[in-house]
Amino acid sequence: MMDDRVATVVGGTGFLGRRVVQALAESGYRVRVGARRPAAVDFGNLRDRLVPVVVDVRGEQSVREAVAGAAAVVNAVSLYVEKDGLTFDAIHVEGAERVARCARVAGVERLIHVSGIGADADSRSPFVRARARGEEAVRKAFERATLVRPSVMTACDDAFLTSLEVVTRLPVVPLFGHGDNRLQPAYVNDVAAALARLAERADSRGRLFELGGGRTYTYREAVQVVMSHLGRNRVLLPVPFAFWRGLVRVFGLLPNPPITRDQLILLEADNIVGSNASTFSDLGMQPRTFESVVQECFPRSV
């Protein structure tokens, strides 16, 4: 059922953001698709429910205009590599605070801020530290904001699954360490659907949700899931993290490195849902497993 409620998705053309736009539109909202280039995505038959708005979280006026009159605001902006004058602090801390503050001043009922599992102000990673400081800044600016930390998100067009498909073409597949770090890949459409539900629920305000998929894997097991499904029998080679750190320094000279220092740091630790956070189950949802996503993305010919 369609209504006249307005939701704003900042970062609405991104990997997660565009799916949040779709989920909110299908829930009945008129959705403002906020991005620096909001026309970059074609939303097909939903476009009559959408209003593209130019938003740069570094600019006060554009943020104010984007959130004015909205019942719900989702901040799904993310930056993984600092370049072209964009910094982690400018996007994940200052930009996040600006969206939260403008939403509070505008009287927005629900603010949902997307961060990530593993956010830690003491991390060796500038990216991870910025995300943690961003969470703190959001809570100070909009006390009852809902914080959402997805695990690594996966889909047919994601960086994680795509990289596993490519690397398992090699005769020898390098692992990060022994590949025993644990992760809980979350299907990005499940995360988007959860955010749409949070926009509807008054009891979500002020809470922290960590969203992981339906099963926990080691990195080695995730590689094996892809190999098994694609019928690839490969040698798995443990590679010490010290070697990866040196390789990442070389990759850092490239304009689009295949892996960054920050991503490597995240791979050195578990990336799974914590015991004290709310999860998909609190929203009445059963998330998909990584296997089911792999099977959908690489269907076997009959």
Q: What is the percentage of the chain residues whose pLDDT exceeds 70?
A: 98
* Helix pair angle (96-105, 126-141), 10° resolution: 10
156 φ, ψ to 5°? -65, -25
What confidence score (pLDDT) does residue 38 get? 84
Please count the residues of the chain.
Answer: 302
Region 275-299 average pLDDT: 94
Ordered by where they begin, the domains of the chain are: 6-152+186-213+273-285 (3.40.50.720)
Region 103-129 average pLDDT: 96
- With H, G, I as helix, E, B as strand and everything else as coil, classify residue 29: coil
HSE-up of residue 17 (Cα within 13 Å, Cβ side): 28
- Cα maximum dimension of the chain: 57
Residue 276 per-residue DSSP state: T
Burial 79-114 (b: 16+ CB within 10 A, else e): beebeeeebbbbbbbbbbbbbbbbbbebebebbbbb
Q: What is the pLDDT of residues 224-279, one digit of tens each?
A: 999 999 999 999 999 999 999 999 999 888 878 888 999 999 999 999 998 888 99
Residues 107, 90: Cα–Cα separation, whole Å? 24
Token pair 């006060």: residue: 60
Q: Is residue 73 within 8 Å of residue 145, measured between CB atoms? A: no
Mean predicted lDDT score pLDDT of the chain:
93
Residues 164, 171: Cα–Cα separation, whole Å? 13
201 φ, ψ to 5°? -105, 120
